Amino acid sequence: MTSAHSDPPPVTVRVPGKLNLELLVGPRRPDGYHALSTVYQAVSLFDDVTVAAADEWGVTVTGDRAHGVPADDDNLAMRAARLLSARAGDAGPVHVTVRKGIPVAGGMAGGSADAAAALVACDHLWNVGLSREELELAAAELGSDVPFLVAGGTAMGSGRGELLAPVLARGTYHWVFALGPEGLSTPSVYAECDRLRGSAPVLDPLPNAELMSALRSGDPHILAPHLVNDLQEAAVSLVPRLGDVLDAGMEYGALAGLVSGSGPTVAFLVEDAEAGIDLAVSLTASGVVADIRRATGPVHGAHLIPAPVD
């Protein structure tokens, strides 16, 4: 066993949540996933993941969004650390500490973000030296959204979402997120999407060229009409109050609103920071939403930061 004095110092990685500016859902594939065409944007709601050499594997989850996150081997950050340990010739064990800021079960890929952060952190802790492409390949083994959270920025995803291509996006976009008290499981939302579609044939999805052009403009007014989420109808069907939230946000001045990923978080695009403050105040005062967060995008993916001081 490595002696305590020679253990490498802990490594902390900050990782953002994501929003799907476009989420087009195609037919179910033979492997059970759906064919997707999506455009991701990383936004400034963050988790911090710290990995430290330890005598045994363990995980701790803290923060005001920590409720419901597994603190055992089912935790995605722990699975990521074990995966990289195996790749590095059984380099572990480590203790993983996750400080949550991204909504849990909210359609913003918080668990996937933690897995991305743990991969990057363990790569540095053990000096594995994986390239960004190698990290993204490992990330794809853990979940469809994980490779994007390694990369960050704005990107197009295909396959089941794990195959990435960069997207040119100018400017900074301002978002207001309305967080629900309940979570939604991604499989249940996809199942409801299939149920609502019935037996009608579903075509393979293709990216929207108008959305790509809007992102190149850097203008939120041009982007707003092109935001779309094929899972939104299913999420609203399962949690009808989401329809009220969407209506309220538009009434109070949002340029556009959509359910984030599989929900139940609702994302509103606004003109600028001042408009975001106004919308947040109005939504809170209305009583329709109790928990509001403002964020901007795009931001960088998983990246090293100085270790937090407890």
Reference 190, options 228, 237, 244, 246; nearest CA is: 237
pLDDT digits (tens, 9 = 90+) for 288-305: 998 899 999 999 999 999
Note if 18 is an active site residue: yes
Query: Could you tell me the maximum CA-CA distance found in the chain, to the nearest angstrom?
Result: 64
On average, the pLDDT of the chain sits at: 92
pLDDT at 1: 43
Reply yes or no on whether the pLDDT at 181 is more than 90: no
Q: What percent of the chain has pLDDT over 90?
A: 75
Confidence (pTM)? 0.92
Reply yes or no on whether the pLDDT at 77 is more than 80: yes
Helices 76-87 & 110-125 angle (0-180, nearest 10): 30
Note if 48 is an active site residue: no
Q: Which of 18, 48, 114, 230 is catalytic?
A: 18
End-to-end alpha-carbon separation of the chain, Å? Answer: 27
159-168, 224-233, 246-255: least confident range: 159-168
Tell me, what amino acid is at 269?
L
Q: What is the mean pLDDT of residues 129-139?
A: 91
- Pull the structure tokens for residue 226: 């092109």
Q: Which of 47, 48, 123, 145 is catalytic?
A: 145
- Pull the structure tokens for residue 35: 């064919």
Is cis: bond before 298, omega within 30 of 0? yes
